[in-house]
Every structure is written in structure tokens, then in C-alpha cells.
Structure 1
Amino acid sequence: MTSLYRDTADRLLTELESGAWREGAMIPSEAHLQETFGISRTTVRRALALLERDGHIERRQGLGSFYRSRKIGKSISSRVDFHTEGRTHGQMPSTRALSFTARNATISERAIFGPEARGGVVELRRLRLLNGQPTVFQISVLCHVGIQDLKRSDFENTSLYALLSSRFELVVSDVDETLEAVNADGDVAQVMGIEPGIAIFNTHRIARDAAGRVVELSNNFVRADRYYFSFSGSIEEFGR
């Protein structure tokens, strides 16, 4: 039979993970929780201790308890790289380069990259992990003289844009990105270690340099249980 404090911890965790709470939000006081759940102060404290042990909350002496989300909140307009973002949220990021292959450009890639794509493009597939868990599957298409001479290992545990800047002086200054919810197909699910059909985020990105030249096309699959996206703006942007 489930003990009362475990049941309380489960109920509180369900509330915290409902989507209404964000990383770092303060949890109501023990007295408030005691009144809300109709339980003793001892039961509340044992429930909070369990949540703290499992890494769901952080208790700060004299300040209270704070929610530690397992998801990373990312602003749609943010351009912080994956590794910096992961470390900022107290997680261990890593990147595996799965493949790096030269191929002919598709019709749409020729239209986007221009004449330079006549000589072909390279496709880079990478898996981004947080604490060793697959989080983002990224397919990038690149088109620039000399890129095909790089090795797959050059893309391990590094920022793609930092690498392009240091090797080829390609500096990304503008990004167009779309975001949609999709169901993971079999191939994507296998790479990301999830069941086919699970809902995930899918973003399509076109990155350009200051001169307007396309630097990268990318297709990114993001686990919805590891990330959430947010947007903020003035009321004028939404209309009335």
C-alpha cells in the first residue's frame, strides 16, 4: 500500500510537471501544502524530502523549496548553443557525430544555396545528449568550399557555428526557424531512443551570414520531455 507521504509527493510532482510551473519557481510553504492536502506537517516534510532526493526540487535554507524541471526552457528567439545551454541548466551536454557525407544537392537545396551547390553538399547528422540521454537529433546540410575535407570527428562535442567560424570565417548572423509538433517516425525514434509515434518538436532552420549567404540548412528533432519552447513580446505584436 502506498504510504501517504509518497502519495503526496506523487500528487505534488504531477502538479509541478503540468506545464504551469517553470524552472526555479518557488513551491508553496509547508503550511500551505499542509492545508491544501489536509495532511500533517511531518507528511509534507517527508514528501518534500523525497522530491529533493529524486532531484525534482531544491530546498534552500531560509528561503524555501524550488522546482527543478527536467526540461530545458528555450526561448524561440534564443541563439545560445546546445552545450552552453545544457551546462547553464546544470546538465552534462555531449554531441555525437553520427555521419558526415558528401552528396548531390536536391532541387530545393540548389535553390537555397545557389550556384555553389552544383558541386554538391555535405550532410552532417549529430545526436545531442543531456546527461547521456538522447535529446536532439540534428541533420545539417552545408555547402562551402573546403567543408568536405573535414572529418566526422571534427564535429564531436563542439558548436557547429564556432567550428565554421574558426575554420572558414563563416559567421552566422541571421536565422529563420519554424517549429512544429510531429510524431516521431521509426528512423527518428530509433536514433533518439523513443517509441515510434511519440510527439516531439521538429524545427527547420536556415542560417545566413551578414551578407545574406546561406551557411546551413538544418532539420532538428527535439524530445518534448526534455525541452519546452517559449515566446514573449509586447501586446502590439499580438494585435487586439
Structure 2
Amino acid sequence: MRPAYLEIHDDIKAAIDQGQWKIGQRLPSERDLATHYQVSRMTLRQAITLLVEEGVLERRVGSGTFIASTRVQEKMRGTTSFTEIIQSQGKVPSSQLISYRRTLPSQQEVDCLGIAKEDNIIRMERVRYADDLPVVYEIASIPEKFIKDLPKEQVTSHFFQSLEEKGYRIGKSSQTISAKLVGDPIAHYLKLPKGQAVLALTQLSYLEDGQAFEYVKSQYAADRFEFYFEN
């Protein structure tokens, strides 16, 4: 059975897409929505937070939560590593590792990666560069079972290649893109003014057999990177 907050997430998103709630309209309070869905406020807040991260909703301090005035969600084809993208454009990729640790997953990581709460993950935080210019800040979560015998240097520098060398076959991915304003410390990492627009990307990547092997939340410097879509 899917977690309740994901069901609520889908229901709210469908209501917006069907025009039941209009762009710019204020949502009912979390208390009222929790009562409507017959869940705790914590569960309701998980759904709202995910919709905010996706750019479907926006929180306004002191005012409440509103249907976002602008949002874009398109399907990008294929699963390609950042390293491959940068190299294909004739640039040199590199990374600055901020943190790398073995830890238990959050509930969101459990749900997205299809793992148990007691399954360890590797969570790494890093800034990625093209020709020494910072392009993206990301937090990647990887089930430990895929990389437990790989040196940290291989995971942080060419993770996809290392998986394929172990015999895994990379499959599809799902992505969600939204716009947001960058705050500290990410603005510092990307060398951007605080409050400048960035592209927030959430990506879940799968092997060909359907296993999710990486969950990544990224923020791209909007003036240094663009996405395009194929129909």
C-alpha cells in the first residue's frame, strides 16, 4: 500500500490539474486539510512539502500556501550522468565533496528507493563543476547494497560508470523540475547572490530490472545550465 502522504500528494495535484483549485489560490489550512483527508497534520505536511519542492505549491511567509503561479513539469528522455552531459559538451567535469556518510534513510528515501527503514544508504552532498564553474549543488541518496564494495572515490567521481562495470544495466529515470530562489549555504557553494533563481531538480533513477538505485535532489544555477525535452 502506498504511503498516505503520497496519496494526498496525488489527489491535490490532480485537483489542481483539473482546475478545482486555480493558480494563485490559497489552500485551506493544514488543520482543515488534515481533517478532510483524515490524517495527522504531520502526514499532511509531508504531502504539502513534497508539492512545494516540486514547484506545484508555494509557501508565503505569514500568508499560507498557494497554488504556484508558474510551474513546468516535462518528461526528459533517458538516464544520463552529469559527467557524461558535461563531457559531451566538450567541458571538463569535476566535483567538490561536502559530505559523504553511511546512514539510515528518511521516510521519503524509503518510499522513493523502495527500501526498508533498516537498510543503510550512502548520502553524499556535493557541488559539481563544468570547467571549474559551479553548476549544480546536489544531495544524492544511494542504497548501500549497490556500492558497499566500491571505494568512495569511484562513487563520487563516476558512479554510473562504476555500476555498469559491476554488471548493472542503467534503465529509466523520472524527474521533476521547478523554479525556486536560492538561499544560504547553497548560494555560497554555487557562487550566486542569495535570492537568485535556480532550477530545482528531483530525479529518481532505476536499473533496467526496475530497482531504484539513486535519489537525487539538485539545485542548478539557472544562468549556467538548461534542460531541453524531446517529444
Structure 1 position 120, deviation (Å): 2.1
Unaligned 5+ residue runs, structure 2? Answer: 1-74
3-state SS in 2 of match to 1:145: helix
Aligned residue among 161, 175, 200 for 1:177: 175
Query: Is the contact between residue 97 and residue 153 of structure 1 (CA under 8 Å) also seen in structure 2?
Result: no
Partner amino acid, structure 2, of 1:212: G
Query: Is the contact between residue 136 and residue 221 of structure 2 (CA under 8 Å) also seen in structure 1?
Result: yes
Partner amino acid, structure 2, of 1:184: V
Alpha-carbon displacement from aligned partner over 1:69-111 (angstroms, at most 9, x marks no partner): xxxxxx9325443233323323222223332101111112222
Alpha-carbon displacement from aligned partner over 1:38-57 (angstroms, at most 9, x marks no partner): xxxxxxxxxxxxxxxxxxxx
- Alignment of 1:188 with 2:183, yes or no, is no
- Per the alignment, residue 145 of structure 1 pairs with 145
Unaligned 5+ residue runs, structure 1? Answer: 1-74, 234-240
Query: Is the contact between residue 97 and residue 152 of structure 1 (CA under 8 Å) also seen in structure 2?
Result: no
Query: Is the contact between residue 97 and residue 155 of structure 1 (CA under 8 Å) also seen in structure 2?
Result: no
3-state SS in 2 of match to 1:175: strand
- Per the alignment, residue 225 of structure 2 pairs with 227
Structure 1 position 151, deviation (Å): 4.0
Structure 1 position 147, deviation (Å): 2.5
Identity of aligned residues (%): 18
- Alignment of 1:161 with 2:177, yes or no, is no
Structure 1 position 116, deviation (Å): 4.3
Partner amino acid, structure 1, of 2:103: R
Structure 1 position 117, deviation (Å): 4.5
3-state SS in 2 of match to 1:212: coil
Structure 1 position 212, deviation (Å): 1.3
Partner amino acid, structure 2, of 1:91: K
Looking at structure 2, the residues matched to 129 and 182 of structure 1 have their Cα atoms a distance apart, in angstroms, of 20
**TM-score normalised by the chain length of structure 1:** 0.58
3-state SS in 2 of match to 1:177: strand
Query: Is the contact between residue 121 and residue 143 of structure 1 (CA under 8 Å) also seen in structure 2?
Result: yes
- Per the alignment, residue 85 of structure 1 pairs with 85
Distance 1:172 1:91, change over 3 A: same
Structure 1 position 123, deviation (Å): 0.1
Distance 1:162 1:87, change over 3 A: closer
- Alignment of 1:123 with 2:123, yes or no, is yes
Looking at structure 2, the residues matched to 216 and 161 of structure 1 have their Cα atoms a distance apart, in angstroms, of 10
3-state SS in 1 of match to 2:168: coil
- Per the alignment, residue 112 of structure 2 pairs with 112
- Per the alignment, residue 209 of structure 2 pairs with 211
Structure 1 position 185, deviation (Å): 1.6
3-state SS in 1 of match to 2:139: strand
Distance 1:151 1:195, change over 3 A: farther
Looking at structure 1, the residues matched to 91 and 115 of structure 2 have their Cα atoms a distance apart, in angstroms, of 42
Distance 1:157 1:211, change over 3 A: closer
Distance 1:79 1:109, change over 3 A: closer
Query: Is the contact between residue 95 and residue 127 of structure 2 (CA under 8 Å) also seen in structure 1?
Result: yes
